[in-house]
Homo-oligomer: A and B are copies of this chain.
Amino acid sequence: MTAVLPEPYEGLRLRTREFIRNVVIPAEPKPGTTLTHENRLQLMEQTKAAGVFAPHLAEEYGGQGVPLEHWPAIFIEAGYSPIGPAVLNCMAPDEGNMHMLELIATDAQKERYLRPLGAGAVRSCFGMTEPHPGAGSDPLALRSSAERVDGGWKINAHKRFISGAEGAAYCILMVRTSAVPAEGFPEGATMFLVDMDHPGVRVGNPINAIDTAIAGGHPHLYFEDCLVPDDAVLGAPGEGFAYAQVRLGPARLTHCMRWLGLAKRAQDIALDRAASRELFGSPLRSLGVAQDMLAQSEIDIATSEAIIDRTAALLERDPKAGAALSGVAKVHCSDAIGRIIDRAIQICGGDGVTDALPLASYANEVRPFRIYDGSNETHRWAIAKRASSRRRREVEAGAPRLDLVDEHGADTWGTL
């Protein structure tokens, strides 16, 4: 550990670390199987008793009230077990939903939706992604919609990859809405809080993805002439795209934190194996090629921690700049995490690709992270566009153009 949190957060981090090692790891299900609902409930009770429950959530809703800037080290501890975040109630998508509800919901909505979610009594889901050609890596391609009706809204939507939908108590749904000039609502997207037992809501076919850590899968989700009242709107109508950014920046970063925790677990497995196994008469840990792989993983871990911390601090200070940097963090961390687990598998040899060790299941768990929350390719495209804009503004503000060359090859250096 290279950073030390201010108290009381460092104490919370250490308690979390002990709790994960002593209570959660022994309760982990076998690779390829999932934590049962009953076991989660039981473990959550222990979590609350240990004072490490919901680190990110305000104390009035049962959490530890840690400010975003100090989440990273604690979430990384939680993620050291694949079930840690669920047990601490800081797993996606609930954690991101809690964060958005805290920031945007009315008091009544908080009481009705945030309180039970924060307590771990219910689960939730977030309804944004749609089948092609709707909203995916490009949220602006959103196609499903709600129309203004008397006393509320009528929603028609087909969503997919809705993580956690099966068994969720409610959905935070994002659909397109037209302008309603009479009421001052701009054209855009609107967020709705919709109970999953609403008759207009139907959970569709499951989508069998290679990750299994999120309870409730990633099914299709249908809203068919689903009527909701005005107070189902989260925040203001037409402001959904802005709210999505409020959720996506931190949510993207907490994914980095949790999966980095799992990557550190993989590295520890590899270190233990390197300490105990021999090849050609030497322990693996003194074979140069194993050392080099372990070191590359250490570098991936340290740089991921550093960019996560930096982004968390920036999200606190300047949410817009922080959201931009969270794209950088997301690409770096999702790539790095994949590499770390892959190297650990390679170091563990045959056992690495079986369920004798959990590494292969970790690899499948984190692989989609390079795709969801905006594919890494899409993020890199956005990162390049921001860099080009930043530089254009600088040049417009008088910074010297740096790429000028004389096309006849004379010495241009005296005149730049």
- Residues of A whose CB lies within 8 Å of any CB of B are 2-4, 21, 25-26, 28-32, 129, 131-133, 136-138, 158, 160-161, 204-211, 218-220, 265, 267-280, 285, 287-296, 298-299, 302-303, 305-307, 309-310, 313-314, 317, 321, 325, 328, 331-332, 345-346, 348-357, 360, 363-364, 367-368, 370-372, 375-381, 383-388, 391-392, 394-395, 399-403, 405-413, 416
Is A377 a contact of B220 with CB atoms below 8 Å? no
Other contacts beyond A26-B400, A346-B376, A349-B375: 14, CB < 8 A = A132-B407, A137-B279, A160-B409, A207-B409, A209-B360, A269-B402, A269-B403, A270-B403, A275-B391, A291-B385, A298-B383, A299-B331, A303-B303, A303-B332
Is A395 a contact of B272 with CB atoms below 8 Å? yes
Q: Which of B30, B292, B368, B399 contacts A377 (CB 8 A)?
A: B292
- A204-B409, A208-B355, A356-B412 known; A291-B380 Cβ under 8 A: yes
- A306-B306, A371-B352, A408-B204 known; A299-B271 Cβ under 8 A: no
Q: Which secondary structure characterizes the binding site on chain A?
A: helix
Is B131 a contact of A32 with CB atoms below 8 Å? no
A356 partner residues in chain B, CB cutoff 8 A: 207, 405-406, 409, 412
Q: How many copies does the complex hold?
A: 4
A405–B358 CA distance with the chains assembled, in angstroms: 11
Minimal Cβ-Cβ distance residue in B for A355:
B208
- A288-B291, A348-B403 known; A332-B383 Cβ under 8 A: no
Minimal Cβ-Cβ distance residue in B for A402:
B269
Is A381 a contact of B310 with CB atoms below 8 Å? no
A317–B6 CA distance with the chains assembled, in angstroms: 13
- A137-B349, A306-B310, A376-B346 known; A285-B388 Cβ under 8 A: yes
A sample of 6 inter-chain contacts (CB < 8 A) reads A136-B349, A160-B407, A289-B292, A295-B381, A295-B387, A299-B331
A204 partner residues in chain B, CB cutoff 8 A: 408-409
Give the distance to chain B from A13, nearest Cβ to Cβ, in Å: 15
Minimal Cβ-Cβ distance residue in B for A292:
B289
Q: Which 4 A-B pairs have the closest CB atoms?
A: A288-B288, A295-B380, A205-B409, A291-B384
A49–B413 CA distance with the chains assembled, in angstroms: 26
Minimal Cβ-Cβ distance residue in B for A416:
B26
Q: Which of B129, B277, B332 contacts A350 (CB 8 A)?
A: B129
Q: Which of B2, B29, B299, B346 contacts A314 (CB 8 A)?
A: B2
A294 partner residues in chain B, CB cutoff 8 A: 383-384, 387-388
Q: Which of A270, A294, A376 has the most CB of B within 10 A?
A: A294
Give the distance to chain B from A213, nearest Cβ to Cβ, in Å: 13
Minimal Cβ-Cβ distance residue in B for A369:
B353
Is B354 a contact of A210 with CB atoms below 8 Å? yes
A309 partner residues in chain B, CB cutoff 8 A: 306, 310
A384 partner residues in chain B, CB cutoff 8 A: 285, 290-292, 294-295, 298
A279–B258 CA distance with the chains assembled, in angstroms: 29
Q: Which of B129, B136, B357, B367 contacts A353 (CB 8 A)?
A: B367
Is B357 a contact of A371 with CB atoms below 8 Å? no
Give the distance to chain B from A244, nearest Cβ to Cβ, in Å: 17
A355–B218 CA distance with the chains assembled, in angstroms: 12
Give the distance to chain B from A391, nearest Cβ to Cβ, in Å: 4
Minimal Cβ-Cβ distance residue in B for A361:
B210
Q: Which of B270, B289, B328, B372 contacts A381 (CB 8 A)?
A: B289
- A272-B402, A289-B377 known; A3-B310 Cβ under 8 A: yes
Give the distance to chain B from A82, nearest Cβ to Cβ, in Å: 13
A292–B379 CA distance with the chains assembled, in angstroms: 10
A413 partner residues in chain B, CB cutoff 8 A: 28-31
Is B211 a contact of A405 with CB atoms below 8 Å? no
Give the distance to chain B from A234, nearest Cβ to Cβ, in Å: 25
A244–B158 CA distance with the chains assembled, in angstroms: 54
